[in-house]
Amino acid sequence: MLIARRALVAFTMAAVTACAWLAPLDAPAMRQVDAGLKRALVSFATARLLNAVISVAQGTEASVQPFGVGVTFTPGQILDPVNDLVEQFSHLMLAASVAFGIQKALIDSTPLRRFGLPEEIANAALFLASDEASYVTGAELAVDGGMSAGL
């Protein structure tokens, strides 16, 4: 039973790794990056709006004088931990938005509009190490998706 479980885990890991390297997954991955960027920006904006509403509520006071006795209600101190939590969440969403934006900018700056695959780098190294490259000397092999060519 233990061997079957290990074999299943190994097969699953191999399948996930193989799927991560397949080029047909680039389009769905880009859609996920776009959706993630949109969600992060909406979450950031919502958190900042909530932060502003809580800050306004912290500064409000309600005074009541029933039967000549004055009572002033100020919710500022009670809302302070909630406001701090929402502010920290907004900082996290800002960092996520920046990360998604950088990833999108890097992908868009590559002429092939995708990241290079590990096997593409390995194939270039294997070529240089093979007999087919025995006459190659002092050459620079740019495996960068066309970035150095300025395509």
Please report, in angstroms and rounded to a whole number, the separation of the first and last CA atoms in the chain.
Answer: 54
Mean pLDDT of all residues in 4-32: 76
Report whether 150 contacts 127 (CB < 8 A): no
The pLDDT score that the predictor gives to residue 61 is 84
Q: Point out which residues pair with 62 in neighbouring strands.
A: 73
CA-based nearest residue to 115, from 102, 125, 128, 126? 102
Band of residue 21 on the pLDDT scale cut at 50, 70, 90: low
For residue 20, pLDDT beyond 80: no
The pLDDT score that the predictor gives to residue 59 is 84
141 φ, ψ (degrees, to nearest 5):
-105, 105
C-alpha–C-alpha distance, residues 136 and 146, integer Å = 21
Mean pLDDT of all residues in 2-11: 83
The pLDDT score that the predictor gives to residue 38 is 95
The pLDDT score that the predictor gives to residue 53 is 92
Question: Full-prediction pTM beyond 0.95?
Answer: no
For residue 47, pLDDT beyond 90: yes
**Residue 78: count of CB within 10 angstroms of its CB:** 10
For residue 93, pLDDT beyond 80: yes
The pLDDT score that the predictor gives to residue 32 is 86
